[in-house]
Structure 1
Amino acid sequence: MKDHPIPAEGHSGPSADTNLTLQEMVLESRDIRDFLAELAVLAASRLSVTGNTIHAGVTVLRRKRAEAVAASDAPARALDEMQNGFGDGPCLTALRTGSTVLVPDLTAERRWAPYVRAATKQGVCSILAVPLDLAGNAEAVLNAYSGRSNGFSGEDIATVEGFAAQAASSLRLAVRITQLNEVRDDLAAAMQSRMVIDMALGAIMAQNRCTRDAAVTILIEASNVRSIKLQDVAAAVIMNISGETDMAGPFGE
């Protein structure tokens, strides 16, 4: 995971530089979870100022179940997981309503009492939760925790909301790239299967001096009799003839 420097004093709103950073993260991340981890670290570093270190996490809602999928550090992950354990809190409320939730002072907060008491014991004084609009792909929320009361100003809220909008756009791109990679992998698997079957048919035609249609019939009958997949029968045919044990071929990368 890359290090994103913490500003010495103050911070500015989302910029073209931030958007470029997020796009680079999409291209360099191994998967969605890796991207979200980088996002949490970046969010924490951009929000943190001298005397007010921010911890950030990302929670995703899948099949009505909340999961803490990424965090800038251990405290942020613990706080996200704790809230998910209680099943309610400011971050889950933001996630469910699709609206920003700010808790400026946990000691004065009367909602979500069990979680608030637990979070206060962990040194949390204020919380900011901003939902990420993923356009139906999933529901997610960017959570920020401060050890100071009124740890988030109005400018901070605007900054985080703008940052979250850019992050959501990049995350949709990451989801799209993941989907394209899955399609590529499926296509590669299909091409591998077709290659193996074609090789087996050629071997059967040569051995039996028969037509391709006849070879197809032989292969299908063998598959039915043995109750195994056609590709597996084809692979067995080739291995029996050539002694090959690795059928990965050029499409097995």
Structure 2
Amino acid sequence: MTGHRVETVLLASRHADHPAPARSITRACREALDAPYSVGLTLAADAALAQRASLAADGPLAERGEALQINLGEGPCIQALRRHAPVFATDLDDPEVTRSWPVFAAQARAHGIRSVFTVPVVNGPGTAGQTGLVLSLYGDRPGRLSDADLETARAHAHAAELLLLSTLTPEEDEAAWGLLLPVDAVIHQATGMISYRHGLSTDQAVALLRAHAHLCDVDLTDLSFSVVHHGLRLPELAGPPSPENSGP
């Protein structure tokens, strides 16, 4: 066993018996960093975060940063999953840095987020349906991530993956939704209902839900709750007129 692997196992073991291990290791990561970053931890079953659970957020910027990426369907976390590599957004005011996700950057800046650094731990052979764990650092000022803080983030990301894997049972599917769905189950329920109502694919249903959330400036989870539990129906997609509304 390599030194890095030993370090990962030891780090994970310190949090294994915690009632909320993801939250515990996220907080530990934040405390171990040299710079004052907020830390978020996300599990995704696809690179678009259409199926995702936000496992933990520690610090004043992390919860909003995590929510913005799932609400908008764009951001450095998603880019990191697609690239299978870290994304270092050193300055959200720099259009060269944010050109792949300008809407996220603008809204993140409005909430005081000025830099984001994401460290993915991707499982699988590179297929679109693979599971990925992403640890994200949110800063309130621009600037590069130090080598020491990068290593700290990587160590805690791999330890979080080990904790997740040790929690699963053979009966659960590979994306661990049996364990994690209670966090964001209502989003997946709303996606299914919209897919059925509009005759859309799951990806199209997620896009419609996100578009409506963005248009109405509401959180995706709150909107999904209204769809599932309050019978909210999103505006119908443009299409051919219904017989009663068509002309002679």
CA distance in 2, matches of 1:74, 1:67: 19
1:25 alignment counterpart: 15
8 Å Cα contact 1:133/1:165 also seen in 2: no
8 Å Cα contact 1:131/1:140 also seen in 2: yes
CA distance in 1, matches of 2:123, 2:13: 15
How far did 1:85 drift? 0.7
Q: Which runs of 5+ in 1 are unaligned?
A: 1-13, 180-253
Of residues 78, 100, 103, the one that matches 1:114 is 103
CA distance in 2, matches of 1:155, 1:62: 29
Runs of 4+ in 1 over 3 A off after TM superposition: 14-19, 133-138, 176-179
CA distance in 1, matches of 2:113, 2:82: 22
CA distance in 1, matches of 2:113, 2:92: 8
How does the TM-score come out when normalised to structure 1? 0.54
Alignment of 1:76-225 (within 5 A): 76-108=62-94, 109-111=97-99, 112-134=101-123, 138-176=131-169
Q: CA RMSD in A?
A: 2.8
Task: Give the secondary-structure state (helix, strand or coil) at the position aligned to 2:145.
Answer: coil
CA distance in 1, matches of 2:123, 2:45: 12
CA distance in 1, matches of 2:70, 2:15: 27
CA distance in 1, matches of 2:22, 2:114: 24
CA distance in 2, matches of 1:148, 1:86: 22
Q: Deviations over 1:56-101 (max 9, x none)?
A: 1111213642332311145311210111111011011112332111
Residue identity matched to 2:17 = L
How far did 1:163 drift? 3.2
8 Å Cα contact 1:126/1:152 also seen in 2: no
How does the TM-score come out when normalised to structure 2? 0.55
Identity fraction in percent: 23
How far did 1:169 drift? 2.5
Q: Deviations over 1:88-129 (max 9, x none)?
A: 110111123321111111111232100001111111121110
CA distance in 2, matches of 1:68, 1:87: 14
8 Å Cα contact 1:134/1:172 also seen in 2: no
Count matched residues. Answer: 159
Larger RCO: 1 or 2 (CA < 8 Å, sep 6+): 2
CA distance in 1, matches of 2:5, 2:166: 18
Q: Deviations over 1:139-192 (max 9, x none)?
A: 22111111121151233223322332233223322225996xxxxxxxxxxxxx
Q: Which runs of 5+ in 2 are unaligned?
A: 173-248
> Whose Rg is larger?
1
